[in-house]
Amino acid sequence: MRKKILLLLLAVLCLVLIVAGCGGGGGKTSGEETPATEDEGKTYVIRAPLMLDTSHPHYISAETVMKPMIEEGTNGKVKVEVYPNGQLGSDRQTTEACQMGTLEMTLPGLSVIPNFDDSFMILDVPYVFTSVEGCRNALDGKLGQMLSDSLAEKAGMIVLGYGESGFRQLSNNVRPVKSPADMKGMKIRVQENPYQIAIFEALGANPTPMAFGELYTALQQKQVDGQDNSIMITYTSKFYEVQKYYTLIQHTFNANAFIINKEFFESLPAEYQTVIKDAVKAAVVELRRIVDEREQQYLDEMKAAGLEVNELTREEKQAFIDATQSVRDKFVAEFGERGQQMLDVAAEYQN
């Protein structure tokens, strides 16, 4: 009897060991199929500041397209905070912070980027772009990729997409401008930029560097005769209130960008990187749609307010192109083979 009990206990013990062994093996297999990772459950915040206000297409597209697409596409793991009106500093300051990694993203005007990579000076060279479509295609294509690759190498930042405020035009209080000769002696406010200064010197004007915040008062008090900003900025800044004439000379393109810190971006899971790229691409499409819609609306409203708008014929525009050839020569002289290569690539996309 005792022998039977002992055999029964041994059988039960073996059964327990077998079950325990199977359970342990099953747990190990499950662990191998769904390993725990360091990024599991991790969340991120992307802060994206810009100088422009909440009415500008760059802000609208970032807030209403980029932000929700990123947050939804990552199931809330990546949060986006868009800061307009220079809340986190000037374009120069936020781009410096993005370079250092203290900000994840910045949405600056590209006029500030030559401080970090001089390749972007090409955007200040006159008549590199002859149409809106040609400019967009170049920036979405090889030229934009060349610039982004250069910025990543030199400053540790990546351009995810290119936005805009449109072509720069010319307003003044002296006379209608239909030729470079009409600009002789005009005092035109420009940015502190060697190429913008060279453009207006080549056109016979007197370029006067001045801070943007001082411009309305300077025009009103006739400290300067005119300025060169896009239709959108001329309208929203109300420069048309203190100017009589506006000529669509389209000498340079007013571009901005969605820029992200390279190290931060590459630290994200690959699927998040794809979501962010797609979100910015969609935001650029919306930004451009708004710009196209508003440009004609704003131009019509400025005309109704009394601004005389002059559109150039092909021959008249060619006179401005010819008059500024020295500025394009200056770019090639300063940048050499690299400069000529960028001009050639841009030319591939023009009509």
One digit per residue, pLDDT tens: the chain, 351 residues? 444 443 444 444 444 344 444 444 444 444 444 444 455 579 999 999 999 989 999 999 999 999 999 999 999 999 999 999 999 999 999 999 999 999 999 999 998 999 999 999 999 999 999 999 999 999 999 999 999 999 999 999 999 999 999 999 999 999 999 999 999 999 999 988 899 999 999 999 999 999 888 999 999 999 999 999 999 999 989 999 999 999 999 999 999 999 999 999 999 999 999 999 999 999 999 999 999 999 999 999 999 999 999 999 999 999 999 999 999 999 999 999 999 999 999 999 997
The residue whose two tokens read 């420009």 is: 190
Q: Measure the CA–CA gap between 77 and 296, rounded to whole angstroms.
A: 40
In the chain the domains, ranked by start, together with CATH numbers, are 44-118+130-165+255-295 (3.40.190.170), 170-252+296-347 (3.40.190.170)
By the 10 Å C-beta count (0-12 exposed, 13-18 middle, 19+ buried), 76 is classed as exposed
How many residues can be counted in the chain? 351
The residue whose two tokens read 């009394």 is: 306
Structure confidence at residue 346 (pLDDT): 97
Q: Measure the CA–CA gap between 178 and 160, rounded to whole angstroms.
A: 38
Structure confidence at residue 145 (pLDDT): 97
69's tokens: 């697409």
Q: Judge whether 105 and 260 are in contact, CB under 8 Å.
A: yes
Structure confidence at residue 192 (pLDDT): 86
Q: Cα–Cα distances in Å, from 262 out to 2, 156, 159, 207, 314?
A: 76, 5, 9, 37, 43
Chain-centroid distance, C-alpha 24? 55
Which has the closest alpha carbon to 297: 211, 219, 241, 235?
Answer: 235
Q: Cα–Cα distances in Å, from 283 out to 48, 215, 273?
A: 13, 30, 15
Q: Measure the CA–CA gap between 114 and 123, rounded to whole angstroms.
A: 10
